[in-house]
Every structure is written in C-alpha cells, then in structure tokens.
Structure 1
Amino acid sequence: MREAITLALRRQRATAAVAAVLGLLWGVLAGWTARTGGPAALLTLLPVLALAWSLLPIFGRPSTTELRVDERDRAFFVPPRRRPSFRCVILGFLAYQIVYHPVAARDEFWWVYPSIAGPLAVVMAVALWRRVPEVALTPAGITAGDPLRHVHVPWEALDPAAPVRPPRAGSLQLPVRSPGLVRRGGIIRRRQVGVENWDLDVAPGLLAAAVTHYVAHPEHRAAIGTPEEYARLRRVLGGGG
C-alpha cells in the first residue's frame, strides 16, 4: 500500500508542477496577446475548456476495479486513478488567472483576479503536494481522504442498522452514530462523513458493499488485509462490483 500511494503521490506532484507552469506560461501568452490586440478570445477560452474537460470524470463512468490487498499493513486499500486529477487542472487554471490579468491590464481592477486566485493556488498546490485520494479498510476502521481533507472512522462509530448509502454524485456517505470517535483533518472539513470516489480506482458499489459488510459483521474485521479474507468477502458479495 505504501509503495502504491508513494508512487501515486510522485505522479501527482509532477502533474501539479507541470499544470502550474503551463498555466503561468499560457496566462502570459494570453495576456500579452490581449494587450497587443491579437486573438485573445481563443487563448482565454482554452483554459476554460480544459477546466470543464477535467471535471467530466466526476459525472462520467466510475471505475470497475477491485480492492487491493496489503498483507503487511493489514488493509484492503484503494489508490487513485492514474489519470491526471481535476484538482491539478484547477491549479493550472488558477495559475493562469494569476498572470493573465496583470499582463493584459485593460482596466484598474486587474488586481482582483490575482488577489483571489493567488491564495487559492497556494492552498491547492500545498494540498496536492501532501496527499493523494485514497481509502483503506483495516481491522480498526476506515481511513479515507483526498488532497483537501482526510478522515479516520473506527468501525464502532458506524451504525450497523443503517446500510451505507449508495454512491451519489461521487460520494459514499457513511452512517456515523458516534461522531466523537471520528478523527478529521485537512484544509476542508465537512459535517457529513463520506468517501469521495471521483478519483479512486475502485468500483463504488464494491466499496459500499464491503463497508456495509464489515459494519454488520464485526467478527470478520480482524482478518481484513489477508488474501483469504478478501476471497471470502468476494464470495459473500457475489463476486460482483
């Protein structure tokens, strides 16, 4: 698990760095073109299209991949998908906004966009440098997160009488009955406890079914992270995702 997450983090850092540099360079080019009377409309439209394109996977087809088994860390885990995260494209778009308006400088309010985009870009860059989207089921509970937030939910904090809600809008909501046991962290914290699966490389239905199973069957939690337990889990779940 650690090796897979470390490799994914390296890819994310490289992608974020490239996105930021491209955003800055494109902002300079588009701003200079606007200032000199060139075809600036096309150059300013492309970053918007790139941003819209990066958000399409949120509404697109989810992954169909299985959970991974890590015997050393005793976990069933999920790394992020290999495709570039939409957060990296957002960072590039923010970098574009930082330099475009100062270079174009068509009015006295050119500073508004950079003053907003600058701090947001710093926050996004730091977040992308620190964490990748991931989730792990362990004998102790569920650990999940993305660059902006992370959470650890002990199995005892979940309500066995309330099944895990089916994934909607890319988020798997967990039925927490003891919020005091939940540990949260990150830049953004939400009242509801859930697992965002937009960037996770796992079938959302399989993840929801696995969580529901272990909430209802505490006797099987100690074996989480072993191939034998995963084979048993898939038999119980019917082998489908």
Structure 2
Amino acid sequence: MVSRVTMRRAFAVGVGIAAVSAGWFEATYSDGPSYWRDFAVRMGPWLLYLLAMVLFAVRQRRLSRTVAFDLGENDRAFRTRVKPEAVWYPAAMTVALTAAFWALGPSTWEAGADPEWQLTVVEVVATVPLGLATVALLGSQLYTLWAGLPAVVLTAHGVRLRSPFGYQVVPWNALRADCPPRPDPGDRFLHLAVERGLGARRRGLALIPLPWLDIHPWFLADAIRHYAAHPEHRAAIGTPEEHERLRHLLLAGAGAAAA
C-alpha cells in the first residue's frame, strides 16, 4: 500500500513537471521572436538543474540523524523513507530534460509550400529518441516516487532492497554473520553479503544509495544485524511495540559504545 506521504509527493511533483513543461511548450511555440524568451526557454531549465545539482551535493554531505523506520500500513514491516532531495532533485532533472525537448521541437519542424509540415530523416533521428527518453524518464520518476524508492524493507522473513533499477530479497538465514557492518563515512551504498543457495533472489541493479535514505546508516545496519542474530524477535517486526523496543535497544547500545 502506498503511504499518503508518497502519494502527496508523487502528485505534487507530477503536477509541477506537467505545469512547467506545458509553460515551456507554450513559450516555445508562441509567435514572434524574443531574445529573452528564447534564452529562458533554452537556458532556464539547465540553470535550474545546475542549482539543484549544487544544493544536492551540499545536502548529501550530511548523514541523516533519523533513528526510526516507517511502519507498513497493510503489511507488517519496517521501511526506510527517502530524504526530500531524493524527490526534488530527480524532479528538477526531469523538468530540465523535458523543457529541453520542447525547446528543440521548433528547430525540427519547417513549414514549406506543402500545407503539411515536413520532417527530414536527420530531424526524426534527432528528435524521436529524445522524446521517447523524456517520456521514459518522466514515467520512471513518477513510479519511483509512487513506490517510495529507493527503500530497505525489513520483514519477518528477511530484508528487501528496492531500487528504481531492480530489487534484492535476502532471507535472514542467507545473510552472512555480522553483516552488514556499520558503513564508513565514505560508503555510498548498502551492501549485503549473502550465502548462496539459501533462497536469496536478485533482479537488476539493487543499488541503495545511503545518502538518499532518511535514516542513519549505522542504525539501519545495526537493525539488520540484530534480527539476523535474534530470530525470536522477527515475528514482531512491523508492530509499534517492536519498533520502540528496537530503538531503545540500539540507542542504548550506541550510547554504551560511545561511552
């Protein structure tokens, strides 16, 4: 079941992308030359994307301080949620590429003596792939927001890694001992060491970028190791009581280790 937060984000970003794209489409195809309009249409989206890229790089240097999971609404699970920049950065990139496609459109159409517009083979080759890529990017972005990806999901049966490009399902007994360790500050992705032949499944690229998750990487790694080592607590995963017990246990352990 999709959470209300994810639905609101997907709706807001979808409306924003549609509105900005429609605005650039209208500006691009309006009659009469205009230097400033043409400059805004062709450079505005990329300036927006450049600003988003700089802000994203700055914010990604900070690790999340969240030490909690989201509880599944219809299924018993602990789920991670994404940071805000995991929503607006891909959205800015999508707007930029979409607007760039619409800005390229007028240069590919030429009105001739024939009442029907003509397209050359070169123009088709240049425009059609870009248009298809734009549609695919927009669709994948909305799907990613709708599904709340990337995400790490803990259930009574194991760990699920879900990314926009694939997934990995690892039963608890398939995890190697003391896996995963606490990530180092320079680690960018969550890695699970798996024993073969014990039911683990993988499809595509199950890459989980830790800076995109709104959860402290150490808390996430400690929680996975805890349930791998304590099967007696797995059945309670997804309940508020188990969530509070886990938080108190891991935070107390972190405090003792720091002392």
TM range (shorter): 0.7 to 0.9
Match of 1:91 among 90, 94, 104: 94
Using structure 1 for the length normalisation, give the TM-score. Answer: 0.75
CA distance, structure 1, for counterparts of residue 235 and residue 246 of structure 2:
13
Q: What CA distance in whole angstroms lies between the structure 1 residues aligned with 2:232 and 2:169?
A: 20
Q: Which residue of 2 aligns with 1:176?
A: 194
Matches within 5 A, 1:208-219: 208-219=221-232
The reply to whether residue 131 of structure 1 matches residue 147 of structure 2 is yes
Matched residue, 1:57? 56
Give 1:42 shift. 5.0
2:222–2:250 CA contact under 8 A, matched in 1: yes
CA distance, structure 1, for counterparts of residue 221 and residue 245 of structure 2: 16
Residue in structure 1 matched with residue 115 of structure 2 by the alignment: none
Question: Structure 1 pair 16/184, CA: closer, same or farther in 2 (3 Å)?
Answer: farther
Deviation readout 1:83-126 (Å, 9 max, x if unpaired): 63322222212211221112245998665653333222222233
- Amino acid in structure 1 at the alignment position of 2:91: C
* Match runs of 1:115-126 below 5 Å: 115-126=128-139
Deviation at 1:37, TM superposition (A): 5.7
Q: 1:150 to 1:25 in 2, by over 3 A?
A: farther
Q: Check conservation: 1:101, 1:110, Cα contact below 8 A.
A: no
| Residue segments in structure 2 that go unaligned for 5+ positions in a row | 111-119
Aligned to 2:117: none
Conserved? CA contact 1:71–1:225, under 8 Å: no
Aligned equivalents of 2:200, 2:15: Cα separation in 1: 33
Residue 142 of structure 1: aligned partner: 159
CA contact (8 A) 1:78 1:201 kept: yes
Aligned to 2:77: 75
| 3-state SS of 1:64 partner | coil
Change over 3 Å in CA distance of 1:89–1:116 after alignment to 2:
farther
CA contact (8 A) 2:161 2:208 kept: yes
* Distance in 2, Cα, partners of 1:200 & 1:161: 22
Whole-Å Cα distance in 2 between the matches of residues 80 and 71 of structure 1? Answer: 17
Which residue does the alignment assign to 2:14?
A: 16
Unaligned runs of 5+ in 1: none
Q: Percent identity?
A: 28
Report if aligned partners of 2:178, 2:225 keep a CA contact under 8 Å in 1. Answer: no
Task: Give the paired residue count.
Answer: 233
Contact 1:140 1:154 in 2 (8 A): yes
Secondary structure, in 3 states, of the residue corresponding to 1:171?
Answer: coil
Matched residues in 2 for 1:25 and 1:71: separation? 38
Higher strand share: 1
CA contact (8 A) 2:28 2:102 kept: no
Summarize the Cα distance change of 1:110–1:78 in structure 2 as closer, same or farther, 3 Å threshold. same
Q: 1:157 to 1:69 in 2, by over 3 A?
A: same
Deviation of 1:15 after TM superposition, in Å, equals: 0.7
Which amino acid counterpart does residue 15 of structure 1 have in structure 2?
V
> So what's the TM-score if we normalise by structure 2?
0.71
Q: Is 1:26 paired with 2:24?
A: yes
> Comparing 87-96 with 143-152, which one deviates more in the overlay?
143-152
Instruction: Give me the whole-angstrom Cα distance separating, in 1, the residues matched to 2:132 and 2:198.
Output: 32
**Quick one: distance in 2 between partners of 1:99 and 1:122?**
12
Change beyond 3 A, Cα 1:49–1:148: farther
